[in-house]
Chains A and B, each alone.
Chain A
């Protein structure tokens, strides 16, 4: 046949068609997964105990939305406190000043070393050991004094507990980010006559930020769900609200589905923000054109 003819001529070899590698096991995996998925869907659709009508009805119910708003507020404020304080702590920890280093190290040691639940309760019950908060010079004159329980409301206690704890973790993330910026960068900046502060602000932190964004997004998503711990100091956020409702109507799973749907919506939004930020931050960093490969690609490899 023509195939044998082609073998004879070495020039024709070069033009022989290429047969790409096939992946038959991928098809098997798809079949298995589809089977399980179908069963899950059948369960979800045919099981009337799931009460989708109730889920839908409560999804936009007023107390749920109030709880949702509280969750969002707690997450945002606690993360802002965490990122700002964490960055300060990280810079302190990398400073030449041994006092700063020790203070930052001690902070991380305490706030990372005790359970967040304990910290939340600690701030909430602070009034029992420190009835008034006074601003003034230690052992000197006072400038003002307030009752602790009025200064530290439930919300403030929650922010203190979540935010100060988060700062300890963010400090480590920022420190790692700063540490991975090449030493030559700050040397170049200093050789140009930049002060240490300008070097940080213009050269080191912008480059560290690129490395800090993914773990920070991770922390934010984690914080979103960690806020449900404020249950212990009686602040009605999303999970607490849902628990209160199913305490009354005994529809635990449908109510938990309501909460889950909202958590997923928020997480999805955060993920979108994360990938936008990452794209913006990767300015000047060459990313080899890693186009996503299709599952059953016929032209895998270089085209």
Chain B
């Protein structure tokens, strides 16, 4: 709490993501037990932890793909999923939730590209049918984005004809097409063959260098160490430890962090 307050005081910008006491329960299983986390604008934060530690669930809560059962999350100063008024939180309509998500891009473990559309159509879909922008303009932007992720030559390919790494790069371009201010990555390289991981991480590294605020659930310790400003280690639904990568990886304070790192490093 005090370290977060100090961090917030150091930077003048308002926090991009602010989670306070977030709880999530599936039946009797409490997957998130009061998570507090503040992510500043331009920060690149990775969430680490064993599977089942709740890191993916927390990431999905930020985008309201999961409803929080306690506490609250704000993105860009806006409460996620609710509207505060008269000392109460009123649930938003699904349309309003959809509108709020436009500033947050998400990349999934299994890519989730639309299989009935080509690479460029995947990228164009949301600007065309959510923002209702001009088709020629959108096509130009989509072509640029595909170029940026190194897939300019594959614009007209259907997802099934692309490799996993190429599909994930299209998925990143698709998320960027909505010009988000925050990007969420849910284990973006876990479904990839080892030799394809690098090309996806390179694209993400480029994004980080351009100042994109990113929260990345990952098992790629190398990426976390090299690219992230902060790593957050979660286990059993709580944040066990967090700090700059060199500190957490080099001198983990907590026994659970130590045992996890000894297995993955």
Q: Mark A residues whose CB is within 8 Å of B.
A: 182, 184-185, 187-196, 198, 202-203, 206-207, 210, 283-286
Does A192 contact B108, Cβ atoms closer than 8 Å?
no
- Partner pick for B114 among A188, A193, A195, A196, CB 8 A cutoff: A188
- Partner pick for B101 among A184, A190, A203, A286, CB 8 A cutoff: A190
Q: Mark B residues whose CB is within 8 Å of A.
A: 63, 65, 94-95, 98-99, 101-102, 104-106, 108, 110, 112-118, 125-126, 129-130, 158-161, 171, 174-175, 178
* Chain A neighbourhood of B117, CB < 8 A: 284
Does A185 contact B65, Cβ atoms closer than 8 Å?
no
Residues A193 and B63 in contact in the complex (CB < 8 Å), given A203-B114, A284-B115 = no
Top 6 nearest A-B pairs by Cβ distance? Answer: A193-B102, A188-B112, A284-B158, A191-B106, A192-B126, A184-B112
* Chain B neighbourhood of A206, CB < 8 A: 116
Does A195 contact B95, Cβ atoms closer than 8 Å?
yes
- Partner pick for B95 among A196, A203, A207, A286, CB 8 A cutoff: A196
**30 interchain pairs (CB within 8 A)?**
A182-B112, A184-B108, A185-B112, A185-B114, A187-B108, A187-B112, A188-B113, A190-B65, A190-B98, A190-B101, A191-B101, A192-B101, A192-B102, A193-B178, A194-B126, A194-B130, A195-B95, A195-B98, A196-B98, A198-B129, A198-B130, A203-B114, A207-B114, A283-B158, A284-B118, A284-B158, A285-B115, A285-B116, A285-B160, A286-B160
CA distance A230 to B112 in the complex (A): 47
CA distance A182 to B108 in the complex (A): 13
Closest Cβ–Cβ distance, residue A208 to chain B (whole Å): 10
Does B65 contact A284, Cβ atoms closer than 8 Å?
no
Consensus secondary structure, chain A interface: helix
Does A187 contact B65, Cβ atoms closer than 8 Å?
yes
Closest Cβ–Cβ distance, residue B237 to chain A (whole Å): 22
- Partner pick for B98 among A194, A202, A283, A284, CB 8 A cutoff: A194
Closest Cβ–Cβ distance, residue B223 to chain A (whole Å): 22
Does B112 contact A207, Cβ atoms closer than 8 Å?
no
CA distance A206 to B129 in the complex (A): 15
Does A193 contact B95, Cβ atoms closer than 8 Å?
no
Does B108 contact A188, Cβ atoms closer than 8 Å?
yes
CA distance A202 to B132 in the complex (A): 13
Most central of A185, A283, A284 by chain B CB within 10 Å: A284
Closest Cβ–Cβ distance, residue A299 to chain B (whole Å): 27
Does B112 contact A193, Cβ atoms closer than 8 Å?
no
Residues A192 and B174 in contact in the complex (CB < 8 Å), given A187-B65, A198-B129, A284-B158 = yes
* Chain B neighbourhood of A190, CB < 8 A: 65, 98, 101
Residues A283 and B116 in contact in the complex (CB < 8 Å), given A191-B106, A194-B130, A196-B95 = yes
Query: Apart from A192-B130, A196-B98, what are 9 other A-B pairs with CB-CB below 8 Å?
Result: A193-B102, A193-B130, A194-B129, A195-B94, A202-B125, A202-B129, A207-B116, A284-B158, A286-B160
* Chain B neighbourhood of A203, CB < 8 A: 114
* Chain A neighbourhood of B125, CB < 8 A: 192, 202
CA distance A283 to B158 in the complex (A): 8
* Chain B neighbourhood of A192, CB < 8 A: 101-102, 125-126, 130, 174-175, 178
CA distance A283 to B118 in the complex (A): 9
Does A196 contact B110, Cβ atoms closer than 8 Å?
no
Closest Cβ–Cβ distance, residue A173 to chain B (whole Å): 19
Closest Cβ–Cβ distance, residue B195 to chain A (whole Å): 22
Closest Cβ–Cβ distance, residue A191 to chain B (whole Å): 4
Closest Cβ–Cβ distance, residue B58 to chain A (whole Å): 15
